[in-house]
Amino acid sequence: SGCAHLIDVNMPAVEEIGKGTFSNCYSLTSISLPVATSIGDCAFQYCGALTSVSLPAANSIGDCAFGGCDALASISLPAATSIGSGAFWGCGALTSVSLPAATSFGSGAFQGCKTLTSVSMPVATTIKSGAFSDCSYLCDIYVGDQPAQCDNPFSKVTYATATLHVPT
């Protein structure tokens, strides 16, 4: 935490990233941790230079794990089953999210992702209040064939032509 000159993280044998482990590492630009199964609360919070995340084995993303990562433009989390509250809040450069195995989205999970235009969640089962609030340009929302229990997850989604894609 707080390593101002850390640029890259590539540790193939890590199973869990603890709470706040890489928070405030302002120069960190990329993460590649193929074996990590759990990302703790605030693990990468305020890593302002972080542009991409690839965590294919992460099953759980903690609260505020990537919150405040302004430059985060892409995420690859195909095995994530639980996305914590505020996990990606304020990721201003994020344009699309595809989380094929995500089953739970916490409150404000993607809140304030101002450039987010597309969300794909094929097997989402629970989407908490405000999960995608303040995503001003969200226009395509893809929800899979399983019903999702929602509690106003898209508040303040104001794009005039937003489309919710749900299979027949």
The whole-number pLDDT of residue 75 equals 81
pLDDT band of 157, cuts 50, 70, 90: low
pLDDT per residue as tens digits for the range 8-51? 887 777 888 899 999 999 999 988 777 777 889 999 999 999 99
Residues 161 and 152: their CA atoms lie apart, in Å, by 18
Q: Are 32 and 54 spatial neighbours (Cβ–Cβ below 8 Å)? A: yes
The DSSP output letter for 146 is: S
Nearest CA among 146, 164, 157, 51 for reference residue 103:
146
Q: Are 53 and 34 spatial neighbours (Cβ–Cβ below 8 Å)? A: no
pTM of structure: 0.84
Q: Count other C-beta atoms under 10 Å from residue 152's C-beta.
A: 11
**Which one-letter amino acid corresponds to residue 68?**
G
State the number of CA atoms in the 13 A half-sphere of 68 facing the CB.
Answer: 15
Mean pLDDT over each residue of the chain, to the nearest integer: 82
Q: What are phi and psi of 133, to 5 degrees?
A: -70, 150
Token pair 């706040």 is found at 20
pLDDT per residue as tens digits for the range 118-143? 887 766 667 788 888 888 888 887 77
Mean pLDDT of 103-117: 88
Mean pLDDT of 71-82: 80
